[in-house]
A and B are shown apart, each in its own frame.
Chain A
């Protein structure tokens, strides 16, 4: 065999090759990556404003902060739980007091699924999750718009990785 022929064969062998080191480091490397801290902006939440003390004492509100990263992850989970919808993009912004001001969720919808009811369901799920997360400072749907931009429609009975077709 010529040097080129040997090299070609060795290259094919290397493409098929899996180093033992990968199997040894995979789990640890993944764990450390997934636990890595990702800095993100604070979003203000508030709890206790409507709490009723058994002694009749006046309620006291307590403010706290949630990382924007956590807010986005919670919204993703809420949207994923809605049948026939999957999140494409989630955009949030806060006001000068770190209160969540806008939330925009773009979703991928199953083909032929009625979009308006689906959008309403996603909006309800998002607002519900934000209420759980941010308490009294969760943005009400009437004040902060939760826009649902239907950017793609996936054919099939569920949202999959098929060819997507823009609808407008």
Chain B
């Protein structure tokens, strides 16, 4: 650095991969690096890969479609404005779920003051895709009802592991707990959910 410079870094961001326009061929990491360099197409591609899963997760954490929409939006804003600080120490998907988890816990305080029966609202939005059978749809509804019986931490842990496929270590990092604690939370969550689903036919 030359003399006289104040040496403060005004922009340190990373990107990579092929030029924009062929996002389908690149990995999450390269899309994240492009997003860090303010590439909106890369960010959009990343959101299109993981947005549905993020919404699925936050909806089942906050249990209200309107709050879930706000939560998802805040997650995307935090991601877009925070990508410059993303160093690739975790997978971008994990990083996004970490942000979503923090937002979900923040928004849960709002939910606590909302009136009305939550289960009906939740079931209302779980419309199946055209290729899903009626049985799958009913199973999802039954599972959503069963999830209501889990404490938030167990629910978060179970969703991140069993539905979103994150590793124990990633979940422990996101939830600020230990690998063993995650294992215990999952064990209890599975037992509760299995009991709740026992009567389903």
Bound together, the chains give a CA A38 to CA B6 distance in angstroms of: 22
Q: A7 touching B190 by the CB < 8 A rule?
A: yes
Q: CB-nearest residue of chain A relative to B66?
A: A21
Given contacts A6-B198, A86-B19, contact A30 B11 (CB under 8 A): no
Q: Which of B112-120, B135-143, B171-179 participates in binding chain A?
A: B135-143
Q: How many residues of B contact A (CB 8 A)?
A: 75
Q: Is A53 an interface residue (CB 8 A)?
A: no
Interface of B toward A, CB cutoff 8 Å: 1-2, 4-20, 22, 25-27, 30, 33-34, 37-40, 43-44, 47-48, 51-52, 55-56, 59, 65, 68-69, 72-73, 76-77, 79-81, 84, 125-129, 132, 135-137, 139-140, 142-143, 146, 162-163, 190, 193-198, 200-201
Bound together, the chains give a CA A88 to CA B18 distance in angstroms of: 10
Q: B52 touching A22 by the CB < 8 A rule?
A: yes
Q: How many residues of A contact B (CB 8 A)?
A: 62
Bound together, the chains give a CA A14 to CA B136 distance in angstroms of: 8
Closest A-B pairs by Cβ, 4 of them = A3-B198, A33-B76, A73-B38, A3-B194
Number of A-B contacts (CB under 8 A): 222
Q: A22 touching B55 by the CB < 8 A rule?
A: yes
Bound together, the chains give a CA A21 to CA B60 distance in angstroms of: 12
Q: A95 touching B10 by the CB < 8 A rule?
A: no
CB-defined contacts of B25 to chain A, threshold 8 Å = 160-161
Tell me how far the C-beta of A5 lies from the nearest C-beta in chain B, rounded to whole angstroms: 9
Q: A80 touching B20 by the CB < 8 A rule?
A: yes
